Structure 1
Amino acid sequence: MTSVGAIFSPYPNPPEALHDAAIAAERAGLDELWLWEDCFRHSAFAAASAALAVTSTLRIGIGIAPMPLRNVAATAMEIATLARMFPGRLLPGIGHGVQSWMAQVDARPASPLTLMREYAPALRALLAGESVTTSGRYVTLDAVRLDWPPADVPLVYAAAEGPKTLLACGAVADGVVLNSLLTAEEAGRGVAAVSAGRAEAGRSGEHDVVAYAVAAFGSDGLDRARSMWTGEVPGDADERILGGSVDDVASGVRRFADAGVDHVVLLPPGEEPDLAAYFEQAGKVRRLVG
């Protein structure tokens, strides 16, 4: 079954708004609430811990925390701590980060793909309780083992857009986070690319696929969703957004599910004045799709 979640964006929403938003998302019956860490706004792990602490069943996704900002051992400690305190409810994701922001803090890697290929396997091994020794271009560890690895080891997601990153994600991560403004067909091609990368790496099993989807409710929903484009709106814009009634949005979610997406995460377009009301509508979508 495809799960349905929503996003708490760090752009119009200050950190102190997350408390009420997380409670509202759980009350609305959503499966997940996703956060992300854009420089220089909310901290991913501090925000996730706050949201987990005020809810009891809601899963919290981090999509994503930039790899260059943290040593992989520190990221493993953050994830393990939360996974032990809130078993089965954290969906941690990592990614390249916006390269101009990484340059601002002197953390921009010359090869983001190399960093992912070194970082994700080390992170997964640490979370699995292994002792990790590795010497790479970016990740170097000498017999590092977590004292408190999680008993319920979470999947490690990686954000991917371009073809090379999609293949790398399949090879080294457990799940992928696809960005918004994709058509369902493009999302399906992303799923296929990730699966190919997984197969090429000799890994069995299925990749877990998350896709963000811009969605707005109401008779003017499509118009408001089109506001995500600051420049010229593409001719196929309405295939890249969801809008209208709850039934309309649910139909769009089903298209992504048919394309192989396991988690469809609804992103409010721009500034949403009433997140609780938005989550209530998204919860109705979840019940229709479920």
Structure 2
Amino acid sequence: MTARWGMTLPLEGVPLREVPELARQVEDLGYSGIWSAEGTGPEGFTPLAAAAAVTSQIRLGIAVAPVFTRGPVLLAQTAATMASLAPGRFTLGIGSGSDIIVDRLNDIAFERPYSRTRDTLRFLRAALAGERVERAYETFRVGGYRCETAPEEQVPILVAGLRSRMLELAGTEGDGAILTLISAADAARVVPVVRGEDGARSDKEVAARILVAPTTDAERARAAGRRLLTAYLNVPVYREFYRWLGHEELEPVWRLWAAGERRQALGAVPDSVVDSLVIHGAPEQLREHLQRFVAAGVETPTAMMLDVGVDPRQALRDAAPR
């Protein structure tokens, strides 16, 4: 597969109103995709709609839309709308989200995340193909829906996966997987789960959202990365993911966090972990590190810029594919 380099918009610290101009630049600079994220910041579809209006070739994707916080039909409607705004260019990423986003922030029971993601994927396949859906899935029921604006071209659906069951779902029923907060070395272990140990699913795409600190000040990069990572590393689904990957060096971090020692937990995250999950350095070093993900089988490495006191607009230009 040919590697496709992506950039996450909006940029941290840059007003949302600048998304259209930044989208033009990203396309002109040779990036192959603009990806949005959805967590506690802006929702993920509106920035892509703004980008769709001012670009003509570049791919547009969301990584990811949680399957709990939008109803299945609303998610299908939103995806169909984006596919109509950018025919043949939109990719839908879906995932379960986390108990923090779903339960604590949205007061929705975070139950059976694998089954909910699987059912949503199956529903979206049918709905976006224009089929009338009247079906009781295991985790929800659709009482008769046909998408009036079903896209002419099939919308690729990528599944965000952390451990084997979700990664296998991404490879068997999805069009591929979206990885997040993962090192290049870990990606080399995860990619075969998606594509099959024998490579039988070699056509499945693997995308990865990669944290980028665009600075040569290693300590500043590590400080910014450590703050963000410590919060994520202690979210239950991510904690189990890193245990599954065999990161025993994080056990002290988890013990301190569970004991309420948040500052000590922050300091306990090893530099080696930060450096593997947050790439930093001069532009050529950033590109070289991104290439490690490509070598590990990641077809679509996508940078997510951190605010480290550098103008992210310039960093976007400096880190452009060569």
What TM-score does the superposition give when structure 1 sets the normalisation length?
0.86
| Partner in structure 1 of residue 124 of structure 2 | 123
State whether residues 171 and 204 of structure 2, in contact with CA within 8 Å, keep that contact through their aligned partners in structure 1: yes
Q: Deviations over 1:32-86 (max 9, x none)?
A: 12111224x3222222111211222222221111111112122111111221221
Q: Does 1:254 align with 2:291?
A: yes
User: 159-168 vs 86-95, which deviates more?
Assistant: 159-168
Distance 1:218 1:12 in 2: 16
| Partner in structure 2 of residue 214 of structure 1 | 211
State whether residues 8 and 33 of structure 1, in contact with CA within 8 Å, keep that contact through their aligned partners in structure 2: yes
Taking the TM superposition and a 5 Å limit, the aligned residue runs for 1:161-180 are 161-180=162-181
Equivalent residue letter for 1:280: R
Distance 1:247 1:133 in 2: 52
Which stretches in structure 2 are left out of the alignment for 5+ residues? 228-265
State whether residues 159 and 177 of structure 1, in contact with CA within 8 Å, keep that contact through their aligned partners in structure 2: yes
Offset of residue 282 of structure 1: 2.1
| Partner in structure 2 of residue 267 of structure 1 | 304
| Partner in structure 1 of residue 87 of structure 2 | 87
State whether residues 33 and 58 of structure 2, in contact with CA within 8 Å, keep that contact through their aligned partners in structure 1: yes
Offset of residue 11 of structure 1: 5.5
| Partner in structure 2 of residue 225 of structure 1 | 221
2:319 corresponds to which of 264, 271, 282: 282
State whether residues 215 and 308 of structure 2, in contact with CA within 8 Å, keep that contact through their aligned partners in structure 1: no
Give the CA RMSD over aligned residues: 2.5
| Partner in structure 1 of residue 189 of structure 2 | 189
Equivalent residue letter for 1:64: V
Q: Deviations over 1:244-274 (max 9, x none)?
A: 2332222212211111111011121235652
TM-aligned CA distance change 1:254 to 1:28, over 3 Å: same
% same residue: 27
Distance 1:278 1:198 in 2: 39
Distance 1:107 1:195 in 2: 32
Offset of residue 197 of structure 1: 9.8
SS in structure 1 opposite 2:142? strand
Equivalent residue letter for 2:171: G
Distance 1:270 1:233 in 2: 20
Q: Deviations over 1:92-141 (max 9, x none)?
A: 11111232232233323311111011111111221122232321232312
State whether residues 76 and 128 of structure 2, in contact with CA within 8 Å, keep that contact through their aligned partners in structure 1: yes
State whether residues 67 and 95 of structure 2, in contact with CA within 8 Å, keep that contact through their aligned partners in structure 1: yes
TM-aligned CA distance change 1:28 to 1:128, over 3 Å: same
Which stretches in structure 1 are left out of the alignment for 5+ residues? none
State whether residues 129 and 151 of structure 2, in contact with CA within 8 Å, keep that contact through their aligned partners in structure 1: yes
Offset of residue 198 of structure 1: 11
Taking the TM superposition and a 5 Å limit, the aligned residue runs for 1:97-136 are 97-103=97-103, 104-136=105-137
User: 166-175 vs 187-196, which deviates more?
Assistant: 166-175
Distance 1:245 1:15 in 2: 26
Number of equivalent positions = 279
TM-aligned CA distance change 1:38 to 1:118, over 3 Å: same
User: 56-65 vs 259-268, which deviates more?
Assistant: 56-65
| Partner in structure 2 of residue 234 of structure 1 | 270
What TM-score does the superposition give when structure 2 sets the normalisation length?
0.78
State whether residues 167 and 197 of structure 1, in contact with CA within 8 Å, keep that contact through their aligned partners in structure 2: no
| Partner in structure 2 of residue 243 of structure 1 | 280
Equivalent residue letter for 1:225: A
Distance 1:224 1:280 in 2: 21
| Partner in structure 2 of residue 51 of structure 1 | 51
